Amino acid sequence: MTAAVIHKSVAWFLGGRSFLALSPPRRVEGNSGIRPLNFEGASAPEVPRARTELKTPSTSSPEKIGAFFDLDGTLLASPSLEWRFIAYLLARDEMGGAEVARWLARCAKTLLRDSVAATSGNKAYLAGLRESLAADWEASLASGSLPFFSAGIERVAWHLAQGHRVFLVTGTLEPLAHAAARRMPGPLEICATQLESRDGRWTGRLAGPHLRGEAKGRAVRAFAARFGLSLWESYAYGNSAADLPMLDAVGRRFAVNPRAALRRIALRENWEIRDWKDSTAVSAARSLPHLSEEAP
């Protein structure tokens, strides 16, 4: 099975796009402020009681206010991080016919029962691949090669300048989320989809829930319990209906580049809608000028 056939097969199932243009290798520095979260069974100290946007000034201390961001489509322009990683694997012949066959077989088993799990929650194509490939992919990224939305990076920087705690709550693979977070303008906490591994190789199975839908809401509440956050005064940013539980968990909700379903809800509930389109090199985010008290 050729790389072209493999790529078309994967794209047909996932509805993705071709993205085989890769950047020249370059290593980047890590961010020691990034940690994963175990959120199973966590409960919230409080839950917002209304769906309208909170307009009143915050009364809690800044460190008790959280800002929760989705990643793909919200802070980062398409294609998704996982598609970029798949392109890297295909271009270097790390993923071949056997991996795709396993992925397609697992899709077929669950497609009728749960179409979402059959595709986005199915990581069988990674079975047997080295965990270190994620680090290799990150090292291959040129400076500024991840197209973050400039307004999104400014928003992250604004929250950090206010002293808020900033979180990435994303369905992408955890090592890819860490790579993206290391290019942000400050330390973040991460909750992403974790992969099971044995002896340094992925098994193709998840080590926990796929971070979408209700899992995102549970992650937000777990972070709130861990850090003693005021959810009613916290912020959340998402671009699709899969982010609704995360948005509903806080008092300040932002629909960013919203897909049709989320846009309808945002208009009905009077949430703020932000259209972030222009992307920026991440190196620019690290040298942002001093940000005022007023939110961008």
Helix (H, G, I), strand (E, B) or coil at 78: coil
Q: Position 15: which residue type?
A: G
- CA torsion angle 41 42 45 47 (round to 10): -70
Report the distance separating Cα 194 and Cα 188, nearest Å: 17
Q: Are 288 and 70 in contact (CB under 8 A)?
A: no
Q: Are 165 and 67 in contact (CB under 8 A)?
A: yes
Strands (E), 101-200: 148-149, 165-173, 189-193, 195-198
Q: 79: cis peptide before it, omega within 30°? A: yes
Q: Is 70 a catalytic residue?
A: yes
Tokens of 250: 């806080």
Q: Are 191 and 181 in contact (CB under 8 A)?
A: no
Q: Is 72 a catalytic residue?
A: yes
Strands (E), the chain: 66-69, 148-149, 165-173, 189-193, 195-198, 201-206, 235-238, 252-256, 272-274, 279-280
Which is catalytic among the residues 70, 114, 136, 243?
A: 70
Tokens of 153: 């990076």
Strands (E), 76-220: 148-149, 165-173, 189-193, 195-198, 201-206
Residue appearing with tokens 């697992």? 106
Provide the annotated active-site residues.
70, 72
